[in-house]
Each structure stands twice: as C-alpha cells, then as structure tokens.
Amino acid sequence: MSIAITSVVLGFMTVPNIVATILLARSDVATSLQKSLQLEVIWVLPFIGSIIVIALLKETNSIGKVPECPDAMGRTWLPGIGPESGDASGFHHGHNAGSGDVGHVGDGGAAGE
C-alpha cells in the first residue's frame, strides 16, 4: 500500500516538472544558458522549481506582445481601444444625443455647468 501511495505522490510531483521542461524547451525567449539553469532549478527543486519556471516563462512570453495590425499611419492599436473598436463619435461612447458633457466633474467644470 505504501508503495502505491509513494508512486502516486512521485507521479504528481514529476508531471509539473515534465510540463515545465517541455515549455522551457519550446521557449524562444530564453538563451541556452538560461534554459540550462532553469532546467536545473526544475529538477533540483521538484514541484516548486517547475512552478517558478512556468510562471517565469508565462511572464516573459506575455511581455511585449502587440498585435500586428497597423493602421494606415503605421500605428498599432491594442484590441478594444483602436478606431475599429466602436463608433466614430469620439471618446464619450454611450452618452445620449445632445447631453454634451453635463455632469462630468473634472472636464472643465463642476457637474451641471
């Protein structure tokens, strides 16, 4: 019985290490020296090392990724904030027609001015 429990525990501890090793091998961001050092961390500190390396890989892979869809002037817009993300009425989306800036404190006056 104790052998089965030990096998299950070791299995749960090695699965994250295998996943972290595969993700590290497929990474384009890390240099070969960084990969070898991170690989050592994965297998010297089982489970904890793999969590650290996976978090590090996720962070470095998500930094600096901007969609490649520049507009006519060469600017790149992030999803949801570009000119195609809404109507062409300006910054105040969702206001009723004719309401202007009434009630916007900080837009040049107090509410109702």
- Paired residues of 70 in beta bridges: 76
For residue 90, tell me if it sits in a domain. Answer: no
**Which position has the token pair 């901007």?**
66
Give dist(CA 81, CA 62) in Å, integer. 19
The boundaries of the domain holding residue 66 are: 2-85
What tens digit of pLDDT does each residue of 27-77 get? Answer: 888 889 999 999 999 999 988 999 999 999 888 876 655 555 555 566 666
Q: Identify residue 95 by its one-letter amino acid code.
A: H
For residue 110, tell me if it sits in a domain. Answer: no
Enter the pTM of the model: 0.51
For residue 52, tell me if it sits in a domain. Answer: yes
Residues 42 and 21 sit within 8 Å (Cβ to Cβ):
yes
Q: How many residues does the chain have?
A: 113
Q: Identify residue 66 by its one-letter amino acid code.
A: V
Residues 92 and 101 sit within 8 Å (Cβ to Cβ):
yes
For residue 38, tell me if it sits in a domain. Answer: yes
Residues 108 and 98 sit within 8 Å (Cβ to Cβ):
no
Total domains in the chain come to 1
For residue 105, tell me if it sits in a domain. Answer: no
